[in-house]
């Protein structure tokens, strides 16, 4: 924990969370999706300190990795954990099963007899049947869902319901198109649910949280910190996380008008780049390389070597996963806390 450090004194690149914006995002989601209507996905922040804040509003969590699931259970956040991913590694499955000794409830996604048998053999107790609702990733075909549920029950697993992540629709920018496409995907999931039974129809992400009224719970994660890609959808969440970087070189004046450029010390090893370059206010970003971002300022004010700048990631999940810690700042840009990104890795 740092005392009275200004954000501009941090070693860069530094992952910086704006506390009041984060607080607003959490409260906004909790208003529209109170309690168990949201199962926050921790993959988007990989941080137990932030998960503790979400636990004030929501009883359960969604995880993408065994590390995330184990990490939440170890800090007492294991009341209802859904590992929304297929796992076949017996050692990792056994580690998940052992979390009952910490009082944790772990439910795992399965989409084949192999994943069901592996979960049952390791001693896991509960699963959801993962159904493909249109995104070519994990998930069984609709017509196999009932058979897999029967197989799971015969193998001794409780079947809590169905999961179907409509990830191919979370970035459809027209809201009404997004809504009708999500309805199609969820009709499929509800058909699977008819065959499977159970109390859960779990689906959704930040981008469909405003339109998916068919799932019993939504697995959104990015809403807490947000990114520039999701910010284009007009959702009621604000950018709460940036990377603070230092300008380390300026050429030919550094501005668009001067035909120059400047270079920051945060490059593609500081940002998940699959959704595009990070944004810098009042500047054009030209390119990122491993440790650098090259940009030109729009203003006539020349960027100077040593300036601090804020860079906004286009994809929050992989960005956070590159960093060991997040610095939390208040409205005066004073660092008020330091959070470990303690759920990184696998």
Ligand X SMILES: Cc1ncc(COP(=O)(O)O)c(C=O)c1O
Residue 130 or residue 265: which is nearer to ligand X going by CB? 130
Nearer to ligand X, 37 or 153 (CB): 37
Taking the CB of residue 31, how many other CB atoms lie within 10 A of it? 10
219 binds ligand X (CB under 6 A): yes
Which three-class secondary structure state does DSSP give residue 135? coil
Interaction of residue 40 with ligand X, rule CB under 6 A: no
Asked if 178 interacts with ligand X (CB under 6 A), we say no
Binders of ligand X in range 117-156 (CB under 6 A): none
Question: Could you say whether residue 313 binds ligand X (CB under 6 A)?
Answer: no
DSSP for 86-127 reads ----HHHHHHHHGGGGGT--EEEEE-SHHHHHHHHHHT--EE
CB of 10 to ligand X, least distance (A): 26
Binders of ligand X in range 84-113 (CB under 6 A): 84
Residue with Cβ nearer ligand X (185 or 309): 185
44's tokens: 């988007």
DSSP character at residue 140: B
Taking the least distance from each CB to ligand X, the nearer of 62 and 132 is 62
CB of 200 to ligand X, least distance (A): 13
- Give the interface segment with ligand X, choosing from 90-98, 184-192, 214-222, 281-289 (CB under 6 A): 214-222
Least CB distance to ligand X at residue 274 (A):
11
Question: Is residue 60 a contact point for ligand X (CB under 6 A)?
Answer: no
Give the C-alpha distances (Å, rounded to integers) separating 24 from 6, 32, 84, 156, 317: 22, 13, 27, 43, 19
Is the sign of the CA dihedral 12, 13, 14, 20 positive or negative?
positive
Strand partners, 287: 294
165 near ligand X, rule: CB under 6 A: yes
Q: How many CB atoms lie within 10 A of CB 236?
A: 13
Taking CB under 6 A as the criterion, the residue among 207, 254, 267, 278 binding ligand X is 207
Q: Is 161 in the site for ligand X (CB under 6 A)?
A: no
Assign residue 51 a region: left if phi > 0, alpha if psi is -120 to 50, beta otherwise?
alpha
Residues in contact with ligand X by CB under 6 A are 41, 44, 62, 84, 165, 167, 170, 205-207, 219-222
């Amino acid at each position: 924990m740092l005392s009275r450090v200004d954000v501009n004194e941090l070693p860069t690149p530094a992952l910086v969370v704006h506390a009041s914006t984060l607080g607003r995002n959490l409260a906004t989601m909790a208003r529209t999706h109170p309690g168990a209507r949201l199962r926050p996905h921790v993959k988007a922040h990989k941080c137990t300190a932030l998960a503790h804040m979400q636990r004030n509003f929501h009883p359960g969590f969604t995880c993408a990795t065994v590390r995330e699931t184990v990490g939440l259970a170890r800090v007492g956040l294991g009341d209802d954990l859904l590992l929304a991913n297929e796992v076949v590694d017996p050692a990792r499955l056994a580690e998940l099963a052992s979390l009952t000794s910490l009082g944790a409830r772990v439910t795992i996604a399965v989409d084949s007899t192999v994943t069901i048998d592996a979960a049952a053999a390791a001693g896991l107790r509960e699963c959801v049947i993962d159904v493909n609702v249109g995104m070519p990733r994990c998930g069984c075909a609709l017509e196999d869902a009932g058979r897999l549920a029967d197989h799971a029950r015969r193998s001794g697993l409780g079947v809590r319901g169905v999961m179907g992540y409509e990830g191919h629709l979370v970035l459809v920018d027209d809201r009404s198109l997004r809504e009708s496409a999500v309805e199609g995907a969820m009709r499929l999931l509800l058909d699977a649910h008819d065959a499977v039974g159970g109390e859960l129809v779990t689906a959704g992400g930040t981008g469909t949280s405003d339109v998916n009224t068919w799932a019993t719970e939504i697995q959104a994660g990015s809403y807490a910190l947000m990114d520039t890609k999701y910010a284009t959808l007009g959702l009621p969440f604000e950018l709460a996380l940036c990377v603070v970087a230092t300008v380390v070189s300026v050429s030919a004046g550094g501005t668009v008008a001067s035909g120059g450029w400047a270079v920051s010390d945060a490059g593609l090893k500081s940002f998940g780049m699959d959704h595009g370059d990070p944004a810098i206010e009042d500047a054009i970003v030209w390119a990122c390389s491993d440790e650098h971002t090259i940009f030109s300022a729009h203003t006539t004010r020349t960027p100077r070597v040593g300036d601090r700048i804020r860079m906004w990631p286009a994809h929050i999940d992989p960005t956070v996963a590159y960093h060991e810690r997040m610095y939390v700042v208040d409205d005066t840009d004073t660092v008020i806390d330091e959070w470990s990104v303690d759920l990184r890795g696998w």
